[in-house]
């Protein structure tokens, strides 16, 4: 049976894609959600995002933390995918265990997109598999809204269609924004990654050393501007308070970066709150007039994609990856 006949013979109401967590950082996991949402569209499946126990930002196996952050991505929920009449793929899943997102733990091999597209099961489950937009793009047919698009335009299509913050998070963002009179502008948003990224980014210290000059260049042209700084490191906050004093704005949140290692999410007593704090900083940054971030950080890249920045109003600092450190 070929792909076209599968799509014609199974009604969309009986075709679902269950999107789980990849157990990554918040915006890395979001990037995978974007790819899987596009996969749902081109395979005529109704998507459901379920971040259960496997997610760093959830609190239990049958608790969907996704819906603590965002509205559902479709008109169906996990319960709609449970039926002894449905078939499931991969075969490790049945109607009674689809919420156990650790059944595919550590499945880091690249997805076989063709296998998922040609699958005729009612419910396809993708938890630990990584699936990025660029991997799905070759399967997009002419006539689809993203056909012929490239780069951030594709992400914005998915974001604008599916990613809707919960109202209480919007309220918290707006309260901070207006309490600190950020609407008076101009405000420069700055995202700095600290020691936890040294394993991933060999030139991190050199890149971070470029921020003060980039900030000062902006302040020369905008002397009345303030700086909205977001970072996982208290030492970075202290450093920039010394440099910029009262013009520095930042949220009060849990910041943990231990001895240059990755932040240990288990040290946060409230994982849901940690996810809210990540969202709050990123969306506040998109409300600013200018942005400077780290070109290797999923958080900075999220800020660049969530908003269509005017030419010259967004700068991502990066350095070429050393050949000897490439995998």
> Please, which residues have CB within 8 angstroms of residue 93's CB and are 6 or more apart in sequence?
103, 123, 125
The whole-number pLDDT of residue 97 equals 82
The whole-number pLDDT of residue 5 equals 38
Domain ranges, ordered by start, for the chain: 3-162, 167-325
Low-confidence ranges of the chain (pLDDT < 70): 1-12, 61, 101-111, 195-200, 256-269, 321-327
C-alpha to C-alpha distances, 108 to 124, 138, 153, nearest whole angstrom:
17, 21, 27
Q: Give per-residue pLDDT as tens, 133-151.
A: 888 999 999 999 999 988 8
The whole-number pLDDT of residue 129 equals 76
For residues 312 and 257, the answer to whether their CB atoms sit within 8 Å is no
The whole-number pLDDT of residue 204 equals 86
The whole-number pLDDT of residue 198 equals 56
Closest CA to 158 of 12, 30, 289: 30
For residues 76 and 45, the answer to whether their CB atoms sit within 8 Å is no
The whole-number pLDDT of residue 135 equals 87
Q: Give per-residue pLDDT as tens, 154-180.
A: 999 999 999 999 999 999 999 999 999
Domain 167-325 has CATH 3.40.50.11350: yes
Domain 3-162 has CATH 3.40.50: yes
The whole-number pLDDT of residue 93 equals 85
The whole-number pLDDT of residue 277 equals 94
* SS3 at position 19: strand
Do the first three CATH levels of 3-162 and 167-325 match, i.e. the same topology? yes
CA torsion, points 154, 326, 197, 102, in degrees to nearest 10? 70
């Amino acid at each position: 049976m070929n792909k076209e006949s599968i799509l014609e013979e199974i009604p969309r109401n009986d075709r679902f894609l269950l999107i789980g967590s990849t157990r990554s950082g918040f915006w890395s996991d979001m990037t995978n959600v974007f790819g899987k949402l596009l996969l749902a569209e081109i395979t005529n499946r109704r998507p459901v995002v379920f971040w259960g126990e496997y997610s760093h930002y959830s609190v239990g196996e049958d608790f969907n933390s996704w819906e603590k952050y965002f509205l559902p991505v479709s008109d169906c929920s996990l319960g709609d995918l449970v039926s002894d009449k449905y078939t499931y793929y991969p075969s490790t899943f049945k109607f009674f265990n689809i919420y156990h997102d650790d059944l595919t733990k550590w499945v880091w091999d690249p997805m076989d997109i063709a296998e998922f597209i040609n699958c005729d099961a009612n419910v396809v489950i993708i938890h630990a598999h990584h699936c990025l937009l660029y991997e799905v793009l070759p399967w997009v047919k002419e006539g689809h809204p993203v056909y012929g698009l490239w780069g951030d335009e594709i992400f914005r299509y998915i974001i604008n269609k599916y990613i809707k913050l919960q109202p209480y998070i919007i309220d918290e963002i707006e309260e901070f924004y207006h309490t600190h009179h950020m609407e008076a502008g101009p405000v420069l948003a700055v995202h700095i990654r600290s020691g936890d990224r040294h394993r991933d980014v060999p030139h991190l210290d050199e890149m971070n050393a470029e921020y003060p000059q980039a900030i000062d260049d902006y302040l020369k042209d905008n002397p009345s501007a303030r700086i909205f700084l977001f970072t996982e490191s208290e030492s970075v906050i202290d450093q920039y308070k010394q440099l910029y004093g009262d013009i520095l704005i930042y949220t009060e949140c849990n910041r943990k970066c231990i001895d240059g290692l990755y932040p240990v999410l288990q040290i946060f007593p409230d994982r849901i709150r940690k996810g809210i704090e990540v969202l709050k900083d990123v969306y506040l940054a998109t409300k600013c007039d200018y942005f400077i971030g780290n070109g290797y950080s999923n958080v900075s890249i999220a800020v660049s994609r969530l908003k269509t920045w005017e030419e010259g109003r967004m700068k991502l600092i990066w350095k070429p990856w050393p050949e000897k450190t490439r995998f």
